[in-house]
Each structure stands twice: as structure tokens, then as C-alpha cells.
Structure 1
Amino acid sequence: MNATTPTPVAAGAMDAPQTRPWLASYPAQVPPTIDDAKIGTLNDIFREALAQYAHRPALESFGKRMTYGELGRAADAVASWLQGQGLKKGDRVAIMMPNVMAYPAILFGALLAGGIIVNVNPLYTPRELTYQLNDSGARFLFVLENFGLTVEESLPDLTLDKVVLVAPGDLLGLKGAVINLVSRYVKKAVKPFRLPKAVSFKAVMAEGSGRKPQPVAVTRDDIAFLQYTGGTTGVAKGATLLHRNVAANVLQLEAWMLPFVGNREDHLMVTALPLYHIFALTVCGLLMAKIGGCQLLIANPRDIPGFVKTLQKSRVTLMSGLNTLYNALAHAPGIEKVDFSQLVFAVSGGMATQEAVANMWQEVTGQPIVEGYGLSETSPVVCANRLDIEKFTGTIGYPLPSTDVSVRGSNGEILPTGERGELCVKGPQVMAGYWQRPDETAKVMTPDGYFRTGDVAVIQPDGQVKIVDRMKDMVLVSGFNVYPNEVEDVIVKHPGVLEAAVIGLPDEHSGEAVIAYVVRKDPKVTEDELRHFCRENLTGYKVPRRFEFRETLPKTNVGKVLRRALKEEVERSQAH
């Protein structure tokens, strides 16, 4: 597979001979399919936003706003500079930054120039960065200066043409200069590094603003993103997302939500998950451009006190997050002073949302958490709850318009309603395959063109889908399946528990034993107390054999609990 001619692996969305019970449960205003003729490129979506919403705010960062018109001019400058540096259509441009004002300008600028975006986690080690940049063949890297040292350490093994250093205050005017000084000299967030050939983002803007970018004939069958995934399960692979895959998902989300949220001028979406994560990229970064909404960019969502202060100054209408973020915010001092009266919905994805967290969030804000489900390989959204639910459902809702799902057994057979099996997906949002890995692509596609998610699910009679767990995380106790999500969900309902993670470890008597790692809210909570609580709510073989108390749980940079890291820790200790 090369940069311009990927091999599509997913056929049309709705051609499988199968009943679709979810369509009967659709809101009246939501169509069963999106119009294929309207699926264009992400560049089309951006240009339409500039034409329609030029004077609307597009972004807010550190208290300063940027309109769509200003964002368009900044993106054009980036595109013009890249073309001046010799970027050709299909060349890869890597972005290694948190949610700062420059991110969307670089993203859209690179796409307008005909580039392919490679989103990079800024917390990567030099080894991980080297692998991803070399695997993708990136020519350009835009990196926040805070992570310059990682780039310096990787540079001898990289084949980059240019490194562009971005500062957190870039595109923020005079206020940006203050933010940069605080970041560098007060917080000391920038470790010393040497990248003598790097270019500053200010220089890029100065040079690129002098001329209009050359128009590039980008089609919907060209690649938009190489979205790397699988880092928590093995070697990271680049999900090849075409313009039409991601643009289709934007249209699917618009069809699903527009009847409930309307095209209001004052929409303010909390973008706390990083834009390099596929969930925030599509649901915040691209969907907001489609409906003319403004993104409230949170550069460091782990700074919960700072996050709460930002929310106190805002009238947010839309929010995206995941379970651990909602949990932290709901427990945060000062959250009661946030005005949530304009909040239309709070959507959650990325990991299973726990009922206890959802209930607490609704108490704080008055709005239920609307859970959705997706993967990097599906651009990402596959299913979502209706936006008019009155309380948390515990399901991932219904497949989006033009999306087909089935639950399959170990031999690939479609299982009847109510039976557990692997969730498989077909739709226009399904990737074209893994970048330069036809063998890996073949493993995840069924002969009839469905993507195998690796998640255990049940389709309910009304078409709602419930995720039971990741197949690889399932614990087998004396032949009985134990799903960590279920056990974790029970443990966190205990009033003295803040967070929990459950794994299976080898056991000579039962094959595997259930082990729980717990972060306490109440330091007096004991193992016996939690075991008794679990026995009241779980059948015997699901009750954890052992409870271990921790100050924190290992998490990915977006806050997803890493069960694998806990397992590896045990394996290392046993090896010694």
C-alpha cells in the first residue's frame, strides 16, 4: 500500500442481508443512512466552515479566542510554507502536540497542502517516536518545544526534512508571549535541548503568510490520517483513514446529533481529550468545524484544579471525555461553582463508562453521560446512545446511520440476538487497512468485509449494543468467563472507592484468578469490606481473590487504565 493508492477493505455499509433492529429505535429525525454523494474531503468541510462561519469563534485557548476566518488564514500560511519546503501530495506530516492554539492550524494547513497527518503522542519515548516516524515515512514534524528533548534523542535515527518547534503561546498574540515565559521559566516545562536546524512556528507563519497556497486536487479516496493504534496491545500499526472515511463519520455524527443540539452560534465544546486521539480529533476537531462550533482547548486536562477554573469562566454547551476524566471532575473541589445550565450533552468514549461515575456526573451537572463507542480503525464512532436519554444506559447505544454491526462466534458465524460474541462492523467509516501491513489487515477483516473489533458484545432486542469486555482482557476462572469491566463496575460503586482495575493472573487451581487494584477515596476501607461488598453483588467465581491498594493506577496519556501494565508489573516481580 503506498501513500496515494490504498486498498479499500470495507464494502458499502448496508449491503449485508441482515435485520437491523436498531433502526426502529432511531429518533424520528435521524435518517437510517447518510447520503454517499455528500461525502467529500475534510478539506471541503473546512473550506465550507470558513465560508459559512468566518466570524464565529472556532477556538479558545488560555482565555483567547480565534475566529474561523483567522484559523483559515493561519492554515493557509502553514500550507503555503509546507509547499515552499517541497511537500508533495501524499507526503506525511507528523504533529506531536497537546491541545494548543496552533494544533488545528497545522492540522488543516497540512491537509490543504495535500499532506497526510500522522498524529503523535507527545509523551512518547524516543524509541516509540522513532518507530512511528520511520514506519509512517514522515517528512515534517511539528512538535511543542516542551518535547524537544525527545526529538533530539531520536534525531540520529530519523529521516525528517524539517522539524518545526511550536510554543504553547503561538497564535495567542501578546498573551502568548506571557504564556511562553511562564512555561519556560516559571514552570520550567521545557527541558534543555539542541535542535540547531529546527524552524520556529513563528518563522513558518511569517514566511507562509506572504503567499496563498497552491490548490491541490485532493479526493475523498486520498489518505487523510495514519492513526497509530495497538500500542497498548503490541506493535503500533497505522490505521489508514481516507478523507471519505473520516468525512463520512463527521456526517454520521452530524445526522445523529443535529436534531438535538441545533446549529447554534454559541456552541462551546470542551476539547479535553488530546486532538491526536481519534475520538477528540473527529468528535471535537472536525465535527465542530462542520457545525460551526467553538472548541475550548484544554492543554493539560490532568491539571484538574486548572481545568475546573477554566470551566468556571465558560458557558459550555457540549463536552467530550472519558470515564476517568468525568470521575476526576465530579470529585473536584469547585466543580459545584461551574455553570452547567447550557450543557446539551456530555459524551463519553475511549473506555467503559462506569455507572457510579455517570450517576455522580448527573448529580453535579444535571445531564446524563451519553456513551458512545469507536476505534481508531473506524474513524472512530460506530455506536452512540440517543442524545435524549434521561439517565445513563450502560450500553453503547445504537449503530450510527449507514453502519452495520453483527456479533460473531469463534468460527465467524453470526450469533442470534442476546448472545455474546465478537462485535464486527461495516460502514463508510471503516479504514482502508493498516499502513503497509496487508497481513495485519487480513487478520481483522471477515471474508464479507466486516472489521473485527476484538470486543465482546451483545446486541439487545431493540438493537442497542452492550460491550461486555475486550476479548484479550477476559479472565477464565475454572472455565467461567469473567469480564473485568463488570467487576470494576461493582467495586467502584462502593462509596469508599475512587478507581479500580481488574486483571487475571495465572493460578494453579482455577487457571486464572481475579485480582483487583484499588485507589481508595476513604483510607479506612479494608480488603475484607470490599470482598464482602463484591460477594453481595457478584457470583462467587467473579469475586477478586485479592485486593491491592494503590495511590494511582497506570494510565495512558488520555486517562485509559492500562490493565496490561499491571500484568507486566506482576510478571517482572515474579521473574526476580
Structure 2
Amino acid sequence: MLSIFERADRFKDRKAIHSNNQDYTYADLITASNAVAANLLNDAVDLNEGRITFLVPPSFEYTAVEWGIWKAGGIAVPLCVLHPLPSIQYVLEDTQAEVVIAHEDFIGFLKPLESVLGVTLVTLESILKQNSKAMPKLEPSRRAMILYTSGTTSKPKGVVTTHGNIEAQITTLVNAWEWEKDDYILNILPLHHVHGIINVMSCALWSGACCEFLPKFDAEKVWDIIKSGRLTLFMAVPTIYYKLISFWESTNEKEQAELSEAASKLRLMVSGSAALPVPVLEKWRSISNQTLLERYGMTEIGMGLSNSYRGERRPGHVGLPLPGVEMRLVDSNNHEVKENEPGEFQIKGPSVFKEYWQKPEATQKAFTEDGWFITGDIGMLNNGLYKILGRDSVDIIKSGGYKISALEIEDILRKHEQINDCAVVGLPDEEWGELIAACIVSPSSELDTKALSKWIKTQMPAYKTPRKYVLVKELPRNVLGKVTKNEVKKLF
């Protein structure tokens, strides 16, 4: 039996999940996941790494299905409840899955794929029917999950992790962030990504703690849950903190004081999955007296670096490698760089994924000859802590022979009183290689973009580049949270 299931046995009487206004114990989760496994196995003794896809909203049932697939010896492939049908079809074709477990809300949506792909739709209700069967013996080296990650130039690749990889990803965070059985966390994150599956749900269940699901984000509901006093941890993406701040600002002074007092009592609040703008961190700290803990991770590695739970959490930085994670910063020739010099993050360790599903060439290209995973992310060591400068293919602008971090420019722009949000990209230019361009969202109808370009230059003394100008384009509405940077480039 895998360690996470052995640990669940120790916590049988404890509350594991709060979902759809109902509490579920670890015993409930064990029973439900055993039923899923038995129904999946049917007459077989082992699924032998068969890919089982499932389209289930974040819930107790989602967790039971995932655990049941694992117990039966299958590979869990969670599907995104917001993806269009062609995206779902791509995953089914790529994994060659023969079974899709679906919540009743998605049966009609998925029905066309039965005839197109020949897959079998299995209802959530039927897979959860009480059943029992002997389970196969599982080794940590067995493949456990495939999560799809989008590349910047190609179709999404399936990232394969083993049970051993997943355990390493969980335990390093449990130890670093001091998870305990009395912890209680709210999960408002998508459950087809590492952040929601590993950092929140799996860490809680490993620890004997409780994970509460809120399938759809609502700022007022989240604040109500924070105000209830039952949370000890909270983890979210920067956009969610931005929306929570906006809601707080819309309330009266008395309500603001109550919300701030409630948020200040949590023991840990984490931000990840995207760069956290320093102004958002500072505003959240002024509201809640909480300094958000930033960390760095990827689908392929779980979490690699983290700011300290008990020590310094420096804005704009992601701390140091987590326990069990080896990391180096290298130049284009794989030579390690010095402090304050930009380099690419490369990672080794038991948390690093096994392979890209059925893509041996892509897998080989993702690793150096001596086994380091090539992240494609650029950063530097700055006064003892690491900071992310951006994705080499998207966030690093090469202009006039210099490498410039789009993320740093974005942080500067967001400090301007007339800018709500922004996205900085590089545009092809014959003379400079790339020109720096910024798409901005402003509440002002009288924004002078030429004056703004001059202001940007005065705020960036660290950049001594010989570029002539910065292009600025104002957007009439907030679309930055809905498009990729490659799509932002098309707006110019």
C-alpha cells in the first residue's frame, strides 16, 4: 500500500474533506475510493497503468475517484472542467484512454466523443457504487498521473509522474511549511494542475488535515470562509489576491477591520503559479498583516524553491531550494553563473517527473546529459535568495544585446497610480532585435502614453540598455488575465 493510503488509515475518524456543505472523514474517503477501484477493476486484478480520465468538479467525489484510480493500478488523468471539447478530445487521443469518468453535468457534453473515439463514458454515480475487491500491490516507481502542460510553441505535453515523484512533492512541502493534522485549508484552485492537486489537497490529506472545496471562486464567499475562523492556511494565485483586495476595498471601514482581523489569524498564506506583483504583496500585507510566501514550481518538478516559513520572505523572490531538491543556475553553455548574474534554473531530485507521455525525443531534450531538468526559466541569486526573471521564451526580452526581464518592468509599471494591470512583451525589430512593448489597463481616460514611456525610463536605472524607446498601448478593458503573452503581442 502507498504511504498516503497507509497514513489515511491512521486518521480514519478525522474530517478529511468538506464538500458541497457536507463533511467527510478519512474513513469515508477510504471506503469511497475502494469502491471506485473495485468498480474500475471489474474482473481484472490490476489496471497495469491504464489511463483513466475523469471530468469531475473539485469535490469529495473528485478525490475518491483519483485515489480509486491509483488503488486499482491505473494512471489518473484529470480533465479541466472549463476546457472546450476539442481540448478534452486531444487529451483522450493522446493518452489513448478508453474510459472517461464523468459527473452527471458533463455526460451530455462528452457524449459526442463516444462515437468519435470509441471511449466509454462511466457515470460518477455508477463508479461510486459500493463494491469491494482485492487491490494490486503498488510500487513507488509505477506511473500515477498525467497532467497536461501547455508549451509556447507546440501542443500540450502530458507530464508523467510516478507515485514516488508525487510522494516527494508532497513531503518536501509538508516539512518546509510545517503542515499538521489540525490544519484546515480552502481549495479554490483548478484540479488539473499541481498547485491544487499537490500543494493543497494532497498535502492536507497526507497530514491528516481537512481540505474544504469551493468549486467556483467567489471573493465574497472566500472572505466569509476566512471570517469563519476555520482556516489555518490559504493558497492562491496572484489574480485571486488581487480580487480579494478589490472586494475588501469595496466594503465599509467596519467590515474592512473585521476581514483584516480574520485574515491576520491564519498561520500561512501562499502565492504561486504566476509572478506575484510586489504592489499586490504590499497591499495584502497592509490589509492582513500577512507577508505572502512565494515559491517556484512547475508541473514537471512540483515545487522547487520556496521562501522561508519562519525566516525572511523577500518580495519579488522565491527563496531557496526545498529539502531534497538540487538546483543550479547555468548560462547557455551549461556553466554555472555567479551571484547577480542571470542564468537558467535546472533541477534534479526525486520530485522531478518521469517523462512526457509517449514523447521520448521531447523527454530527452528536457534533460541535460548529466540528468538535470531544463526548466526554461531564467533567474538569479540576489543577496542570498533567488528571484525569477521570467520564462526564457516569453519573459526575457533580448534588446540591443541585453537580456531584460519583462516581469521586472511589469512590477515597475504597476506602481504607477494610473495603471491597474499590464503585460510587457518583446516585439521583433531589425535594429534592436526586440523592442520593449507594454499593454496596460488604466482607469484613467486621460492617460498620456508618451509621458508614460518617459516615466518608465526614469524608473529603471538598473537597465543601462541603449534602446531608444518603449512602446505603450492602452487596452480599453481588462483582458490581460485571459490571454497569453504571445496573444498580447498581436495587440500591437
**Same fold per superposition (TM over 0.5):** yes
Q: CA deviation at 1:105?
A: 1.0
> 8 Å contact 2:159–2:355 — kept in the other structure?
yes
Deviation sequence 1:396-422 (CA, Å, 0-9, x none): 111011211111111222223332111
**Paired AA for residue 32 in structure 2:** A
Cα distance between partner residues in 2 of 1:232 and 1:119:
22
Cα distance between partner residues in 2 of 1:525 and 1:154:
50
Q: CA deviation at 1:388?
A: 2.0
Cα distance between partner residues in 1 of 2:423 and 2:114:
37
1:75 and 2:33 are equivalent in the alignment: yes
Cα distance between partner residues in 1 of 2:17 and 2:100:
23
Identify the structure with bigger relative contact order (alpha carbons < 8 Å, sequence gap 6+): 1
Deviation sequence 1:243-283 (CA, Å, 0-9, x none): 1111011111122122xx5x252x11121111211121111
State the TM-score, normalized to the length of structure 2: 0.90
Cα distance between partner residues in 1 of 2:195 and 2:307:
15
1:406 and 2:328 are equivalent in the alignment: yes
Structural mapping, 1:80-479, within 5 Å = 80-84=38-42, 86=44, 88-160=47-119, 162-164=120-122, 199=123, 201-206=124-129, 209=130, 211-258=131-178, 263-265=180-182, 267-301=183-217, 303-332=218-247, 333-334=250-251, 336=256, 337-338=258-259, 339-378=262-301, 380-389=302-311, 392-460=314-382, 462=384, 464-473=385-394, 474-479=396-401
Where structure 2 has 5 or more consecutive residues not aligned to the other structure, the ranges are: none
The 1:523–1:152 alpha-carbon spacing in structure 2 relative to 1, beyond 3 Å, is farther
Cα distance between partner residues in 1 of 2:142 and 2:24:
29
Query: How many residues align structurally?
Result: 478
Q: CA deviation at 1:477?
A: 2.2
Deviation sequence 1:104-142 (CA, Å, 0-9, x none): 111111111111111222222222211211111222212
Q: CA deviation at 1:449?
A: 0.6
**Paired AA for residue 10 in structure 2:** Q
Cα distance between partner residues in 1 of 2:49 and 2:115:
24
Q: Which of 8, 21, 44 does residue 3 from structure 2 map onto?
A: 44
The 1:264–1:123 alpha-carbon spacing in structure 2 relative to 1, beyond 3 Å, is closer
SS of the equivalent of 2:70 reads helix
The 1:330–1:233 alpha-carbon spacing in structure 2 relative to 1, beyond 3 Å, is farther
Deviation sequence 1:439-471 (CA, Å, 0-9, x none): 001111011110000011113453x22111110
RMSD: 2.3
**Paired AA for residue 202 in structure 1:** E
SS of the equivalent of 1:128 reads helix
Cα distance between partner residues in 1 of 2:231 and 2:447:
36
Higher mean C-alpha displacement, 147-156 vs 221-230: 147-156
Q: CA deviation at 1:89?
A: 2.5
**Paired AA for residue 234 in structure 1:** S
Percent of aligned positions that are identical: 26
> 8 Å contact 2:313–2:319 — kept in the other structure?
no
Q: CA deviation at 1:530?
A: 3.5
| Runs of 4+ residues deviating >6 angstroms | none
Residue equivalent to 1:16: none
Higher mean C-alpha displacement, 504-513 vs 274-283: 504-513
The 1:351–1:477 alpha-carbon spacing in structure 2 relative to 1, beyond 3 Å, is same
Deviation sequence 1:465-518 (CA, Å, 0-9, x none): 211111001222232222210111111122332221111222344332222122
1:496 and 2:422 are equivalent in the alignment: no
The 1:233–1:288 alpha-carbon spacing in structure 2 relative to 1, beyond 3 Å, is farther
Where structure 1 has 5 or more consecutive residues not aligned to the other structure, the ranges are: 1-40, 165-198, 571-576
Cα distance between partner residues in 2 of 1:70 and 1:149:
29
